[in-house]
Amino acid sequence: MEVTDVRVALRAPVARTGAGERRPGEQRLKAYATVTFDHCFVVRNIKVIEGRHGPFVAMPSHKTKVACGRCQFKNDVGSRFCVQCGSRLPPAAVAPEAEAGEASAHRDIAHPITAEFRQYLQAKILDVYEAERTKTTMGVSSSLSAAHEAI
């Protein structure tokens, strides 16, 4: 299988000041990628995240939900109380997959199953991401100088 197209949409930098504190995870999300495989299959919402050791790719995922025993409302895994009726969720529902935390609360919707393909895919996406970042910083400076000339 081959990656035949990669589109990367950079995320606008998040302002550090102002109301509504952002969680660190939101600051680290740098871009969304849309990838085409073999000219015929598209996966959207692949994330580029700035990690401690450089950017890496996270596959699209959804939050796993757990139904409340009383009202059947589907709550995020990790919640201790039902958002709808306020009843306490059983501890088993809090961490159904042994390992607690972020990993068990999110499940990949689509993902490579071999390490080779994961690396290949990540390299393809990060190439475009880096190119897009360079283009953007250059674009900003050239439009700035254009504005100066207008004045």
Question: Interface with Zn ion by CB under 5 A: which residues?
Answer: 68, 70-71, 73, 82, 84-85
**At its nearest, how many Å lie between Zn ion and the CB of residue 69?**
7
Q: Can you tell me the distance from the alpha carbon of 47 to that of 42, in angstroms, rounded to the nearest whole number?
A: 14
Query: Pick from 6, 45, 50, 11: which is nearest to 31 by CA?
Result: 11
Cβ distance to Zn ion smaller for residue 82 or 93: 82
Residue appearing with tokens 């993902």: 111
Cβ distance to Zn ion smaller for residue 85 or 100: 85
Cβ distance to Zn ion smaller for residue 68 or 126: 68
**At its nearest, how many Å lie between Zn ion and the CB of residue 90?**
12
Cβ distance to Zn ion smaller for residue 84 or 143: 84
Cβ distance to Zn ion smaller for residue 56 or 73: 73
DSSP characters over 51-118: ETTEEEEE--EEE-EEE-TTT--EEETT-SB-TTT-PBPPHHHH-TTSS-SHHHHEEESS--SSHHHH
Helix (H) or strand (E) holding 141: helix 115-150
Q: Are 65 and 75 in contact (CB under 8 A)?
A: yes
**At its nearest, how many Å lie between Zn ion and the CB of residue 96?**
17
**At its nearest, how many Å lie between Zn ion and the CB of residue 104?**
21
Strand partners, 54: 51
**At its nearest, how many Å lie between Zn ion and the CB of residue 76?**
13
